[in-house]
Chain A
Amino acid sequence: MKSILLINGNDPKALLNATLYGADALAYDLHESVDEANKDAARLLLQEALPFFDYGGAGVFVRINPMAEGGADDIAVAGKGKPQAFILPRADVQSLAQADAAIAALEAENGFAAGSIKLLPVIESVASVENAAAVIAASSRITAVIFSAATFLQELGAPVSADTAQLLYARSKVALSARAAGLPVFDRPWADAKDKAGFEADARLARSLGFTGKLAANGGQVPLINEIFA
């Protein structure tokens, strides 16, 4: 698995077109793509949509909200559609334990095999980067790890810039911790769809640091991710 494509979880047309780009996994997003007033509708949309489509072998994930911001509701409602995994933003040891328990309840209530639904933590806080190994070990459901930069830079008090050097330590730490645990590790999405050169350079740098794949912010980024991380 090299590419994980983020898709607005409340956009039926985007759900319909999600498999067209050749991504190895699809991440239906309930977090940043969906405004607060429509989280409830988006959860129900994913619950109905996930069993509806033939994904042709692609992984099917749901990026939930942080556990303190509705993540448990995301798991309980959208989870009835039986995704293969949940992506947990702002993951730390405590929130991963909460997510693990919520998924266990979902599995028990819906007749899903215990332990069948996996977890992908997004390591993006300063504390979680520094304690990456402990975060990765927090749940036996964790099958891959994701690094994201925005919260990290914000907590660090560092200006957001195009200078990738400011992320070198954090990326290396997360990649190293994941690989030491024998897990694949995915780099942050590149949000600026027009900056193709920046995206390619960022992906190649991530590859050189040991990342095994990258999140795609749009379908057009998928082919290059698949090529760079092949």
Chain B
Amino acid sequence: MKLTKTGEAGAADSGDILVSVAPAEEPGIQIELSGKSVILKQFGRQIRELLQKTAAECGVENARITAKDNGALDFTIKARVRAAIQRAV
């Protein structure tokens, strides 16, 4: 799937995650994740993996994903990445 513009979905509210997906020149999916340090320390790796996996499942090969987490559960992370990708096509 080829991205043509930046797409954003989600919110900075509690329990949500704000995800931005943009086309990238370089190959692969680059992820920039921010949020509460205590959450990132404990779950950062899992969140990155889920961001990566969801984008790959959507057929995205080259992209830059910026995510600001505020305690989102897996279903929210997946949904927001999918919505951001839809909006970036």
Partners in one complex: yes
**Could you tell me how many residues of chain B have their Cβ less than 8 Å away from some Cβ of chain A?**
18
Q: What per-residue 1/0 map shows which CB atoms of B24-38 lie under 8 Å from chain A?
A: 000000000000000
Interface size on A, residues (CB 8 A): 12
Given contacts A40-B87, A41-B10, contact A16 B73 (CB under 8 A): yes
**Is A44 within 8 A of B73, CB to CB?**
no
- By beta carbon, the residue of chain A nearest B83 is A41
Contact of B15 among A12, A40, A41, A44 (CB under 8 A): A12
Knowing A13-B13, A13-B14, A13-B16, say if A41 contacts B74 (CB, 8 Å): no
A12 touches B73 (CB 8 A): yes
**Which residues from chain A contact B82 at a C-beta distance below 8 Å?**
44, 48
Which residue in B10, B15, B16, B76 is a CB contact (below 8 Å) of A48?
B76
Instruction: Fill in one digit per residue for A1-26: 1 if any B CB lies within 8 Å of its CB, else 0.
Output: 00000000001110010000000000
Contact B75 A49 (CB under 8 A): yes
Contact string against A for B residues 41-52, beta-carbon threshold 8 Å, 1 for contact and 0 otherwise: 000000000000
Q: Which residues of B contact A45 (CB under 8 A)?
A: 75-76, 79-80, 83
Smallest CB–CB gap between B16 and chain A, Å? Answer: 5
| Nearest-CB residue, chain A, relative to B84 | A41
A13 surroundings in chain B (CB, below 8 A): 13-16
Number of A-B contacts (CB under 8 A): 45
B6 at the interface (CB under 8 A from A): no
Given contacts A12-B73, A13-B13, A13-B14, contact A44 B87 (CB under 8 A): no
CA distance A227 to B57 in the complex (A): 47
In the complex, chain A residues whose CB is within 8 Å of the CB of B16? 11-13
Cβ distance B35 to chain A, nearest Cβ, rounded Å: 14
Cβ distance B9 to chain A, nearest Cβ, rounded Å: 5
Closest B-chain residue to A17, C-beta based? B15
In the bound complex, residues from chain B placing their C-beta under 8 Å from that of A16 are 15, 73
B68 in contact (CB, < 8 A) = no
Tell me if B9 and A48 are in contact (CB < 8 A): no
Q: CA of A47 to CA of B83 in the docked complex: distance in angstroms?
A: 12
Residue B88 CB within 8 A of the other chain = no
A27–B83 CA distance with the chains assembled, in angstroms: 22
Inter-subunit contact B79/A49 (CB<8 Å):
yes
Minimum CB–CB distance from B71 to chain A (whole Å) comes to: 9
- The distance from the CB of B63 to the nearest CB of chain A, in whole angstroms, is 17
Q: Which 10 A-B residue pairings sit nearest by Cβ, starting from the closest?
A: A13-B15, A41-B83, A48-B75, A45-B79, A52-B75, A12-B76, A48-B79, A12-B15, A44-B79, A41-B9
A-B contact sample (14 more), CB < 8 A, given A12-B73, A40-B86: A11-B15, A12-B76, A13-B13, A13-B14, A41-B80, A44-B86, A45-B76, A45-B80, A47-B79, A48-B75, A48-B79, A48-B82, A52-B73, A52-B75
